[in-house]
Amino acid sequence: MKRIALPAAIVALIALAALVLPMLLPWSHDAIDWDHVRAAPATAGHWLGTDELGRDRLARLAVATRITLAVALAAALVSMLVGVGWGMIAGWAGGRTDELMMRIVDALYALPFMFIVIVLMVVFGRSILLVFVGIGLVEWLTMARIVRGQVMTLRHRPFVLAAEASGAPVRVILARHILPNIAGVALAYLTLNLPGIIMIESFLSFLGLGVQEPLTSLGILVKEGADDMDVAPMGLQVPGGVMVTLLVCLTLVGERLRDRFA
Amino acid sequence: MSLYRLDAMGVTIDGRDLVRGVSLEIAPGECVALAGASGSGKSLTSLTPFGLSAGTITGSAVLEGQDLAGLDEAGLRRVRRASVGFVFQQPLTALTPHRTAAQHLTESAMQAGGARPDRNTLVAMLDAVGLADPAIRLRRYPHQLSGGERQRLMIACAIAHGPRLLIADEPVSALDAHLRAEIMALLTRLRRETGMGLLLVSHDLASLEHHADRVLVMQGGQVVEAGAAQAIARAPQHAYSQALWAATPSLKAALPDDLHVPGAPLVEAQDLTVRFAGNGLFTRPVTAVDAVDLTVHQGEAVALIGGSGSGKSTIGRAIAGLGPVSAGAVLWNGARLPARRSLEQRRMIQPVFQDPVASLDPRWRVSDIIAEPLVHLRPDLTSWGRAGLVKKALQMVELDGALADRTPAGLSGGQAQRVAIARALVAEPQMLVLDEATSALDPLVAVQIVALLKRLQRDQGIAMLVITHDLALAAQFCHRAAVLDSGRIVEQGPMAQLIAEPQAAMTRKLVAAS
Amino acid sequence: MRALVLRRLLTAIPTLLLVLLASFALMRFAPGGPFDGERPLAPETRAALEAAYGLNLPMGEQFALFLQRTLTGDFGPSLVYRDFTVTQLIADSLPVSLTLGGLAILLALVLGLAAGMVAALRPGGWADETLMLVATIVTALPSFVTGPLLALIFGLWLGLLPVGGLGDGLLSAPQYWIMPVIALALPVAGAIAKLARAGLAAALAQEHIRTARARGLGTGAIIARHALRPALVPVVSYLGPAAAGLLTGAVVIETVFALPGLGRYFVQGALNRDYPLIMAVILLYAALIIAFNLIADLLYGWLDPRSRA
């Protein structure tokens, strides 16, 4: 448990900062300070300086982190709901139903989902809703497979049979016996999913398809920073550093949870 | 001249003394057995001197004049390679799954520096351990062999390099009763033929009398009694040895004469057949249970006996309404039970499973576990009423009420099984289906559970279907027995008659093995 | 074995059809078309273009036409790169992408397996902790960060390697491949390292390792004969997702390093609604992933005979 504490605390700290900072800072994330364009850090109330449009970097960073985390959580929840639901039904039903449901998962797995998401983004416009639904739809497959495996193992455990012998109807067994026993694994993989989702979002931003102006995200900041790398390396280093830290800590927490529960 | 000698040997792990003061001596061709329940330290005693456990030894261990205590890992490896062979308990997990029998044998034969054996030699090796069709078996993987075949393969590998000493750690515990005698006989034969010494670790006391020369009984890491095998078997002196011997059912014991008198037929299986479809496109369906007729009367205990894969669990599940039925019927008081049973029908037949820990939801508390059948099968009760019945059930299985708030993680094996039995009894069923209910328990604990079942039967008149592979166990409290082989009942009748005059081949094997 | 291949191929067909249908539907029913460029076209010109490309036929017919053409390998002309057929574009750019991907996965396997196995030999030791932390960090670095970073450091500042393009021929100038392959391979290598470490550590904890030790085998023989195959199982089951990851990563790398590969064309095609190109590429990528999954399954069977049953 000790080993979860540190990375989890870091994530919590970052999230807290992202939530609170914009309210405390004098500059908003899209306000333009015409007098201080490309300012160095700690000039005129801009703790991290300003970017090439004169926007406060720290404010942008905080808002970007908020949005990235929100998108990631929302997408992860979508993927968890669909994945857990699908996996539970397939794992419990077994037989033909399971075969069919898992074949569908296999078929969908083969789809180059990334590209479908890109196509979706291009076609349907760039709403933030679509972003996280789209991402969620990419990630549910792994969750479905894992949940289905767990449910199948539990399905034949004697305590489930005993519950059947006790006259418990299926929905009660699923809710009170199966779900609590897969909650740990589901949570672990949910946490492990988050870094992947954040990467997908940043990839979409790289292509210009992710979160749109006036909103911003870590992916956008990193892309802008990378474009500007030779001129203002800090524009890449700081958001990049935050993103990598978030990803690494989330991965560590997810792995510890997975080791504990699975 | 002794082959292997331990003098006041002890085993230490992480600073704790887990075994103390063991002394024994094995001459060539002799078999010395370490007996005791799990946790007694017998495996540690046999494996640690050769560097195969997590511990280190204190005292002296001498093999053919060489002291093992001072050797480092490289030295011990040389000893293992050249002079000692090992047979472990679970051949399925102990043999590398992706290597064929031939590869295993070849590796073992060459481990002491021998030449690569040719095919005929390999066939001869498998033949020597009594494996049928050795040429075909060579190409098989361990999971494609049956339990008995795997253990024979493991033995063949263990002796392939001609060791002077063979160490067998519970070689037959994971096998069905009727196979045990054969494997033990094989070990004895090999010992006599090659002059190998054998250090046998076992809790199957019945076989020690016939196959061991000397026995050391261990408890809590120390030797409590040692002597000639037959002497100890016939008249154990130490209290622990006596308890251990008493806990092993044997057919030599007299059959009980105080069993409940059975009443009218309660549950009948008529022409019961269960078929499982092959999985995927290319495997054929399997008939697990083939036209079985079985009757259990009120207050009667009927034993359903067979080896693994004989279909006994499948029958048990079908009767308990927890498994599929492809053809035939299960009758209750003469009326056919439908595929979807009513709550009242469910209440009448309750199951108890083999693995006590897996049969309890790890996240629920004991009181909730026991109350679960009442929640669904006795909806007329209030939570007060349920609590009262739960308390009564705990008393019936002789468990302290203080356990009610624990989760299964805080229970021992025996306690967990009692909870499972309490859950089965709480709704006042008329029949219990017990699927290998004592097989996973320590022998001393198993004795107590059997006593509990006997008492329940006598006091409550509950009918029981006792599914087991151990005939001697069933003989202790069952009126009648049915012997199952490959899904068919090959013989049925009163217990005494079955034991005295077994007709079918399978029955005879079972009787001989007990 | 044959049954498995057969079953995979059977599942592949509906998958590919699904892919085609989905992308077709999306393209056609979405707002905007390939000719909604920046300069509005005269109605007659547009009508003529649409007729030429068959875009004014009813939907069902368009799809049927597409299917027909696909089976013969004819995807028609690209709507954006007007002088080229889609097949030509693919034929020109696929070798680049395949080389990039192939080299990357080789590198990832070599690095990942080596790191993972070294770490697993002493679980909990400092090598283990360090290597795994590095692996985690490496998987957290997006390729559009590592790519430009590498280009910056080794290309611009140190001047050691060329920053973009391919030079003359495909493999004539290996220095053009070094940075792109490394940038693409790193995240996959990190993932493989973690899986290999977990796999080997789990394999060494199995009971049959004790039997191998009981036979007096040395560490090398134990690992090579008894632990290696089960250790590779998690790595192999990652091959499918790894392929998908490489494909998406390749898009980024090709853009960053100006490599004329398929990923770049796909992005341009998606943004400009070049329907035939998009569909052909999606189809191709789906086929690649299916192929990878099939290879993974076959490898599985070899690694663990119990799964063949």
Cross-chain Cβ contact C286/A110 below 8 Å: yes
- Tokens 């808002």, located at residue: A63
Residue B491: per-residue pLDDT: 92
Question: pLDDT for B25-36, tens place per residue?
Answer: 999 999 999 998
Cross-chain Cβ contact B96/C225 below 8 Å: yes
C-chain CB neighbours of B94 within 8 Å are: 207-208, 210-211
Mean pLDDT, residues A223-239 taken together: 81
Residue C275: per-residue pLDDT: 73
Residue C54: per-residue pLDDT: 63
A-chain CB neighbours of B322 within 8 Å are: 161, 164-165
- Determine the residue of chain C that is closest to B86 in CA distance: C214
With 0-12 CB in 10 A as exposed, 13-18 as middle and 19+ as buried, what is B258?
A: exposed
Mean pLDDT, residues A137-157 taken together: 86
- Which uninterrupted H or E stretch holds B11? strand B4-13
Residue C225: per-residue pLDDT: 92
Tokens of residue B244, six digits: 């251990």
- Across the interface, of C7, C305, C309, the residue whose CB is closest to B98 is C305
Give residue B332's pLDDT band: very low, low, confident or very high (50, 70, 90): very high
pLDDT at B281 over 60: no
Mean pLDDT, residues B118-134 taken together: 91
- Determine the residue of chain A that is closest to C155 in CA distance: A230
Q: How far apart are the CA of B10 and the nearest CA of chain C, in angstroms?
A: 21
Give residue A133's pLDDT band: very low, low, confident or very high (50, 70, 90): confident
Mean pLDDT, residues B218-234 taken together: 90
Give residue B283's pLDDT band: very low, low, confident or very high (50, 70, 90): low
A-chain CB neighbours of C295 within 8 Å are: none
Question: pLDDT for C159-200, tens place per residue?
Answer: 777 767 666 556 667 778 888 899 999 999 999 999 999 899
Cross-chain Cβ contact B107/C215 below 8 Å: yes
Mean pLDDT, residues C132-146 taken together: 87
Cross-chain Cβ contact A202/C142 below 8 Å: yes
**How confident is the prediction for chain C on average, in pLDDT?**
80
Within 360-379 of B, beta carbons closer than 8 Å to A belong to: 360-363, 372-373, 375-377
Within 229-288 of B, beta carbons closer than 8 Å to A belong to: none
Nearest partner of B86 among C212, C226, C218, C222, judged by Cα: C212
Q: How far apart are the CA of A32 and the nearest CA of chain C, in angstroms?
A: 27
Cross-chain Cβ contact A111/C19 below 8 Å: yes
Q: Give the predicted TM-score (pTM) of the model.
A: 0.81
B-chain CB neighbours of C226 within 8 Å are: 96, 99
Cross-chain Cβ contact A158/B376 below 8 Å: no
- Degrees, nearest 5: CA angle A243-A194-A107: 130
Give residue C33's pLDDT band: very low, low, confident or very high (50, 70, 90): low
Query: Cβ(C278)–Cβ(A119) under 8 Å?
Result: yes
Please state the CATH superfamily assignment of the domain spanning residues C90-260 in this structure. MetI-like (1.10.3720.10)
Question: Is residue C5 less than 8 Å (CB to CB) from chain B?
Answer: no
Q: How many CB pairs (< 8 A) connect A and C?
A: 106
User: For B504, which DSSP code?
Assistant: S
Question: pLDDT for C250-293, tens place per residue?
Answer: 888 888 888 888 888 888 777 777 777 877 888 888 888 888 88
Question: Is residue A3 less than 8 Å (CB to CB) from chain B?
Answer: no
Residue B280: per-residue pLDDT: 52
**How confident is the prediction for chain B on average, in pLDDT?**
89
pLDDT at B153 over 70: yes
Strand partners, B218: B223
Residue C31: per-residue pLDDT: 59
CB atoms within 10 A of CB B389: 20
Q: Looking at chain B, which subunits does it touch, using at least 3 CB pairs closer than 8 Å as the criterion?
A: A, C
The better pLDDT of the pair C38, C137 is held by C137
- Across the interface, of C11, C26, C139, the residue whose CB is closest to A119 is C26
* Predicted-assembly ipTM surpassing the 0.90 threshold: no
Lowest mean pLDDT of A180-184, B405-409, C99-103, C147-151, name the range: C147-151
Cross-chain Cβ contact B82/C216 below 8 Å: yes
Question: Is residue A162 less than 8 Å (CB to CB) from chain B?
Answer: yes
Give residue B282's pLDDT band: very low, low, confident or very high (50, 70, 90): low
Separation between Cα atoms, residue B15 and residue A261, nearest integer Å: 31
Separation between Cα atoms, residue B5 and residue B27, nearest integer Å: 9
A-chain CB neighbours of B360 within 8 Å are: 159
- Determine the residue of chain B that is closest to C226 in CA distance: B96
Residue C197: per-residue pLDDT: 92
Give residue B86's pLDDT band: very low, low, confident or very high (50, 70, 90): very high
Q: How far apart are the CA of A167 and the nearest CA of chain B, in angstroms?
A: 5
Separation between Cα atoms, residue C18 and residue C21, nearest integer Å: 5
A-chain CB neighbours of C149 within 8 Å are: 229, 236
CB atoms within 10 A of CB B454: 17
Residue A234: per-residue pLDDT: 79
Within 93-112 of A, beta carbons closer than 8 Å to C belong to: 103, 106-112
Give residue B205's pLDDT band: very low, low, confident or very high (50, 70, 90): confident
Question: pLDDT for A94-108, tens place per residue?
Answer: 888 888 898 888 777
Residue C11: per-residue pLDDT: 73
Interface probe with A: pick from C36, C144, C252, most Cβ of A within 10 Å: C144
Q: How far apart are the CA of B280 and the nearest CA of chain C, in angstroms?
A: 9
B-chain CB neighbours of C206 within 8 Å are: 93
- Determine the residue of chain A that is closest to B353 in CA distance: A158
Measured between its terminal Cα atoms, the distance across chain A in Å is 15
What Cα–Cα distance (Å) separates residue C112 from each residue in C123, C134, C185, C197, C289?
Answer: 16, 11, 10, 9, 21
Residue C49: per-residue pLDDT: 65
Mean pLDDT, residues B128-142 taken together: 90
Centroid of chain to Cα B90: 11
Give residue B391's pLDDT band: very low, low, confident or very high (50, 70, 90): very high
With 0-12 CB in 10 A as exposed, 13-18 as middle and 19+ as buried, what is C61?
A: exposed
Question: pLDDT for A171-216, tens place per residue?
Answer: 999 999 999 998 888 888 888 888 888 888 888 887 777 777 778 8
Query: Over the Cα atoms of chain A, what is R_g?
Result: 22
Cross-chain Cβ contact B99/C226 below 8 Å: yes
Residue B301: per-residue pLDDT: 93
Separation between Cα atoms, residue C245 and residue C189, nearest integer Å: 11
Interface probe with C: pick from A116, A122, A143, A256, most Cβ of C within 10 Å: A122
- Determine the residue of chain B that is closest to A169 in CA distance: B376
pLDDT at C308 over 80: no
Separation between Cα atoms, residue C233 and residue A110, nearest integer Å: 20
Cross-chain Cβ contact A159/B359 below 8 Å: yes
Q: How many CB pairs (< 8 A) connect A and B?
A: 58
Q: How far apart are the CA of C287 and the nearest CA of chain A, in angstroms?
A: 8
Interface probe with B: pick from A102, A155, A159, A170, most Cβ of B within 10 Å: A159
- Determine the residue of chain A that is closest to B279 in CA distance: A95
Of B216-225, C53-62, C140-149, which has the strongest mean pLDDT?
B216-225
Question: pLDDT for A10-48, tens place per residue?
Answer: 999 999 988 888 888 877 877 787 777 777 777 777 778
Cross-chain Cβ contact B97/C306 below 8 Å: yes
Tokens of residue A208, six digits: 């210009």
The better pLDDT of the pair B168, B254 is held by B168
Within 29-58 of A, beta carbons closer than 8 Å to B belong to: none
Lowest mean pLDDT of A210-214, B365-369, B393-397, B438-442, name the range: A210-214
pLDDT at C40 over 70: no
